[in-house]
């Protein structure tokens, strides 16, 4: 799900944005990723902002970050926790069934 001021769109990952254009974190389940230094990271992986690379750099999902990786609703909750979201938006759980 990509949530910004213009729209809400269901996508294959989750993102946290700052200043509307700088991706701070994105959780990706789509395909393995090759970092700019040539290292490859499998699925799922976490895109993290890195100076000079934007969100093109990925790391393994930290151990324990996803309590139930097969439950999309719980993944969203875990990602919001990782991003430090204090006031969570009102999202209908049925969208994730």
Q: What's the mean pLDDT in 40-64?
A: 92
Give 9's contacts (C-beta < 8 A, 6+ positions apart): 1, 2
pLDDT of 17 > 80? The answer is: no
Exposed/middle/buried for 14, CB within 10 Å: 0-12, 13-18, 19+?
A: buried
pLDDT of 68 > 80? The answer is: yes
Length of the chain: 97
Q: What's the mean pLDDT in 62-74?
A: 91
pTM of this structure: 0.73
């Amino acid at each position: 799900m990509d949530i910004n001021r213009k729209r809400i769109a269901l996508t294959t990952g989750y993102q946290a944005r700052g200043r509307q254009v700088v991706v701070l974190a994105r959780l990706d389940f789509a395909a393995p990723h090759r970092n700019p230094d040539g290292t490859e990271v499998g699925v799922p992986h976490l895109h993290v902002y890195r100076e000079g690379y934007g969100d093109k750099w990925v790391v393994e999902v930290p151990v324990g970050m996803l309590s139930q990786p097969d439950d999309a609703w719980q993944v969203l909750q875990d990602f919001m926790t990782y991003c430090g979201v204090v006031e969570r938006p009102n999202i209908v759980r049925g969208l994730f069934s």
